[in-house]
Structure 1
Amino acid sequence: MAEGLICLTLAWDQMPESVSLEGGSDRILREPVCAILVLTSMGWVLLDTGTDARRFRGENPDRDLYAPAGLPEFLTDGDPLVDALADHGLEPSDIAVAAVSHLHFDHSGGLRHLAAAGVEVCIQRNELEFAMNGAGREDAYLREDYDDPAIRWRLLDGDAVIAPGVDAVSTPGHTPGHMSYRVTTAERTWLFAMDAIDLQAGIDLDRVVGTWAREQDAPLVRSSHDRLTRLTREGDARLVAGHCPETWPPLDVPPLPRNGTAR
């Protein structure tokens, strides 16, 4: 069982609703880029790493990745992940183990910090294989984020334990090896859908996300969506959409226990 968790907002993306919700409109949503810190008996666990802000700054920001919606907004002029960790008295070397739900660039941008700190990173085997052998920029995969021999990958094949109280939940479809996270604390069980369900509207209306990396994976988008809603019912869990501007920033997370320290 985990001792507690902290929700991190690493950036804000400008995205058409249709990307996050099948049948959605062209209305531009300001969506959070999310990560989670979990305090466990083995130390701090980091789930997802956000966007590398450097490519969107300076005189020639990379506009193609987000056109036509606009560039992401960052909460700091520094590095989003490093500064978010510092807000809680942490640095990358304080992370006991990390995981990345999938390797789209708004989830993989902080991997270089974990590589430099020697932190083990959990990923689904199918996701890494697709990223290394089939995916490209047109699929929102940027090899410079993850094609690094210094990253200490721990390859997972489906559901797995990441750390005490933190489980990987296999939810392929949005990408071939996408995974969500289950975090169990004394107060409740949390299911962080990540990009398997982007918006609270997807939960409320039972509508899937609007994009997937491979056409043959489209049926898996629905089956993974259904799996998460089923696990929510069976485990009396709180299901959290991965990019929802309505539910993420004010997410009602209990405070860490008094003995839960950042170092």
Structure 2
Amino acid sequence: MDAEASTASARDQSATEIICLTLAWDQIPESISLEGGSDQILREPVIAILVRTSVGWVLLDTGTDARRFRGDNPERDLYAPAGLPEFPTEGDPLLDALAAHGLTPADIAFAAVSHLHFDHSGGLRHLAAAGVEVCVQRAELAFALAEAGREDAYLREDYDSASIRWRVLDGDAVIAPGVDAVSTPGHTPGHMSYRVRAANGDTWLFAMDAIDLQAGIDLDRLVGTWAREQDKPAVRTSHDRLIALARAEDARLVAGHCPVTWPPRELATRSAC
């Protein structure tokens, strides 16, 4: 293979564009996002990532269904005890974020959801309507359908639908060229993070809720919540795995709900924040 062909092949297996989306801001006590944290309320971003690959656009996570927190919904405070989330527009967070980049759900080739808490699953209905295949871990979907309830921040109406085209994963997997699922259970039984390899040689590790805050990385402190008590050891294992991967691959590790470091400065110029 000559140098030109080799470069083209590498580009085909890499992401050519990464766009940060901020779909909401939640009011969250620090103790939720950092074990041993304070009661201070943080304004935390609800994030998603758009990645352009050789097979098309890939959407990583889908944000919150804003309809729950608008109008006179009698249940809205149940899901936001520290204060209602803020949204960047008056419309649908995911649809408006996509539209800001000239896209609709029909333009998405593949999608993934790191886990099925309601601040990550709220846009699944749009992907279902467009027939987009959505990657999810088998353990996450099984837990969400069989065990989890509203008290665990799982809202079945977001994800329990025959119209969602699930692609069920078992551990690490390729989502699309340049985009990998990294199994990081603990926060939830089937949580996954994402690795994105960019065409310029950069590697990005999006921790999602395996590590919420930059302080968790800097101070080696775990995320503050997990769905099942027996999963707490996995929180440490997954935290350590991401730190080790970032070191081994010289990758930028991005915390999933950090108001200080989201969006990463290097990607902010294409952000919808």
| TM-score (structure 2 length as normaliser) | 0.92
Higher Rg of the two aligned structures: 2
Alpha-carbon distance in structure 2 between the residues aligned to 1:155 and 1:60: 33
Which of 210, 219, 222 does residue 233 from structure 2 map onto? 219
Which of 180, 205, 221 does residue 219 from structure 2 map onto? 205
Structure 1 SS opposite 2:83: coil
Q: State the Cα distance separating 1:2 from its structure 2 match.
A: 1.0
Structure 2 SS opposite 1:135: coil
For 2:203, give the aligned amino acid.
Answer: T
Work out the percentage of aligned pairs sharing the same amino acid. Answer: 79
Alpha-carbon distance in structure 2 between the residues aligned to 1:87 and 1:224: 34
| TM-score (structure 1 length as normaliser) | 0.95
Which of 94, 97, 104 does residue 117 from structure 2 map onto? 104
Q: Tell me which protein shows more helix as a share of its residues.
A: 2
- The equivalent residue for 2:185 is 172
Structure 1 SS opposite 2:143: helix
Q: State the Cα distance separating 1:181 from its structure 2 match.
A: 0.1
- The equivalent residue for 1:8 is 21
- The equivalent residue for 2:4 is none
Q: State the Cα distance separating 1:60 from its structure 2 match.
A: 2.8
Q: CA RMSD in A?
A: 1.0
Residues 208-248 of structure 1: per-residue CA shift (max 9 Å, x gap):
00000000000000000000000000000000000000000
For 1:135, give the aligned amino acid.
Answer: A
**2:166 paired with 1:153:** yes
Counting only pairs closer than 5 Å after superposition, residues 83-122 of structure 1 correspond to structure 2 as: 83-122=96-135
**2:138 paired with 1:125:** yes
Q: State the Cα distance separating 1:4 from its structure 2 match.
A: 1.5
Answer whether contact 1:195 1:241 (CA < 8 A) is retained: yes
Answer whether contact 1:46 1:98 (CA < 8 A) is retained: yes
For 1:36, give the aligned amino acid.
Answer: I
For 2:217, give the aligned amino acid.
Answer: I
Structure 2 gap segments, 5+ residues each: 1-13
Answer whether contact 2:20 2:268 (CA < 8 A) is retained: no
**2:86 paired with 1:73:** yes
Length, aligned pairs only: 255
Runs of 4+ in 1 over 4 A off after TM superposition: none
Structure 1 gap segments, 5+ residues each: 257-263
Residues 164-220 of structure 1: per-residue CA shift (max 9 Å, x gap):
000000000000000000000023000000000000000000000000000000000
